[in-house]
Amino acid sequence: YLDRYGVVFTAEVGLVVAPAPTPFAPTFSKEAKEKLRQRKLAHVPILRNLMRDLMVHSATSLRSVPLEEQVVLGVNLFYHSWEDTSGLPGQIVMQAQRKSLVDFEAGRIKSDALLAAIREQAN
């Protein structure tokens, strides 16, 4: 039990579908690796938005979790060993008090207040 943590969700996510080595193409060019990295970088903000949406929607449906407790969502990102992951996070963790998330869904606070209420850690 984590004190004041009402619920913790975790997931492993691949930002995009990466090509797999084959007998006919066992390695990838530097350009192909960079193109994949750029595609993944473009998807990180999309993932963050989806994570926020999931936190809001889950907080409103989890009525048994007290309003003062935390809703936490941790996502581990999947990478192949051959990928260039520079500038890409390995994990994103977001947490907020359930009350803030419910207040946003009900229209009692605006998106800037929601963003201020969500603590994010990426590494």
> Cα(47)–Cα(68) distance, rounded to whole angstroms?
26
Report in angstroms the alpha-carbon separations of 56 from 59, 61, 65, 80, 109: 5, 9, 13, 31, 12
Mean pLDDT of 8-23: 93
SS (H, E, C) 22-83: CCCCCCCCHHHHHHHHHHHHHHHHHHHHHHHHHHHHHHHHCCCCCCCCEEEEEEEECCCCCC
Q: What is the pTM of this model?
A: 0.91
pLDDT band at 120 (very low <50, low <70, confident <90, very high): very high
Q: What is the pLDDT of residues 55-91, one digit of tens each?
A: 999 999 999 999 999 999 999 999 999 999 999 999 9
